[in-house]
């Protein structure tokens, strides 16, 4: 019995020691983490302050010029990639899909043997976008040139696509109006209007609906949205990669973000 008590006492001491050691380790880990977090926060604050100071030293004219150059470069590069066969159709980022109403009954189309007609309709929508987008550069360029930045430096210090978002918010409606005639020509040129007339008629027969999709508006908006997505990619690249800053203004202004 006495041996049992001694053994039990020994186990209790050992357990208490382990518990104390674990408690000490937990406290030590907490202190190290707090110290690391504080250091990281301090370094981030210093970095942000350095960038803000560097941007503040730039002239508003230079910042505006750099933002416009980045946007124009994005448009030109984006249109070059989009304005070829499969530029839209083969790119999941910008591909124009069936309108929402038709997406809901796509399975029904395929069930009655109309899948190929739906597929052809989608392909021709994208072919029209690929044809029309080549004429969008001057329309975008005019919108960019005439745009004034309410706070250019704030946009420069914003998100990786802040300039693209600003352009999109400020110019989409005028871009749609200016670009619609180009898209209408392209829809007729590739035969999309006729295929879609068949598709909508079949849809109305199956769904007993009276769908009257404005195909021109739909493709115009899809095409412009595609260009903006490509411009956003380019802006992100210019912000993050010095190699993509091809002019002295781009190097000077976006270089301030590297400090």
Looking at the predicted structure, is the pLDDT value of residue 178 above 80?
Answer: yes
pLDDT at residue 26 is higher than 80: no
Whether pLDDT at 101 is above 60 = yes
Q: For residue 156, is pLDDT > 80?
A: yes
Give the span between the Cα atoms of 232 and 253, in whole angstroms: 18
Categorize the per-residue pLDDT at 99 as very low, low, confident or very high, splitting at 50, 70 and 90: confident
**Exposure of 135 in the CB half-sphere (CA atoms within 13 A):** 15
Q: Is 118 exposed, middle or buried (0-12, 13-18, 19+ CB in 10 A)?
A: buried
The pLDDT value given to residue 121: 87
At 259 the pLDDT is: 66
The average pLDDT across 7-33 equals 48
pLDDT over threshold 70, residue 50: yes
Considering the chain, what is the average pLDDT of its residues? 83
pLDDT band at 46 (very low <50, low <70, confident <90, very high): very low
The span from the CA of 187 to the CA of 123, in Å, is 11
**Residue 169 or 34, more confident:** 169
Whether the CB-CB separation of 136 and 223 falls below 8 Å is answered with yes
pLDDT at 207: 73
pLDDT in tens, 70-92: 999 999 999 999 999 999 999 99
pLDDT score of 12 more than 60: no
221 pLDDT tier (thresholds 50, 70, 90)? very high
Q: 189 versus 52: which is more confidently predicted?
A: 189
Percentage of the chain exceeding pLDDT 90: 56
Say if residue 116 is exposed, middle or buried (CB neighbours under 10 Å; 0-12, 13-18, 19+): exposed
DSSP for 29-57 reads HHHHHHHHHHHHHHHHHHHHHHHHHHHHT
How do residues 200-217 score in pLDDT, each as one tens digit? 888 777 777 777 678 899
């Amino acid at each position: 019995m006495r041996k049992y008590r001694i053994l039990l006492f020994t186990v209790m001491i050992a357990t208490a020691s382990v518990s104390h050691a674990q408690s000490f380790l937990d406290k030590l880990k907490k202190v190290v983490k707090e110290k690391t977090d504080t250091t990281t926060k301090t370094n981030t604050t210093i970095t942000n302050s350095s960038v803000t100071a560097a941007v503040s030293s730039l002239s508003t004219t230079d910042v505006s010029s750099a933002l416009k150059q980045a946007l124009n470069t994005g448009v030109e590069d984006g249109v070059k990639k989009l304005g070829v066969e499969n530029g839209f159709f083969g790119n999941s980022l910008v591909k124009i899909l069936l309108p929402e109403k038709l997406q809901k009954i796509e399975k029904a189309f395929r069930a009655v043997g109309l899948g190929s007609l739906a597929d052809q309709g989608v392909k021709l929508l994208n072919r029209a976008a690929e044809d029309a987008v080549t004429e969008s550069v001057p329309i975008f360029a005019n919108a960019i040139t005439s745009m004034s930045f309410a706070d250019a430096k704030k946009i420069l210090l914003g998100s990786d696509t802040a300039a693209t978002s600003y352009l999109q918010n400020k110019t989409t409606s005028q871009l749609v109006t200016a670009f619609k005639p180009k898209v209408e020509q392209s829809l007729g040129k590739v035969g999309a209007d006729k295929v879609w007339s068949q598709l909508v008629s079949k849809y109305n027969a199956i769904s007993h609906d009276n769908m009257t999709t404005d195909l021109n508006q739909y493709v115009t908006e899809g095409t412009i949205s595609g260009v903006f997505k490509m411009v956003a990619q380019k802006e992100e690249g210019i912000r993050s990669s010095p190699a993509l800053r091809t002019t002295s203004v781009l190097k000077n202004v976006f270089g301030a973000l590297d400090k």
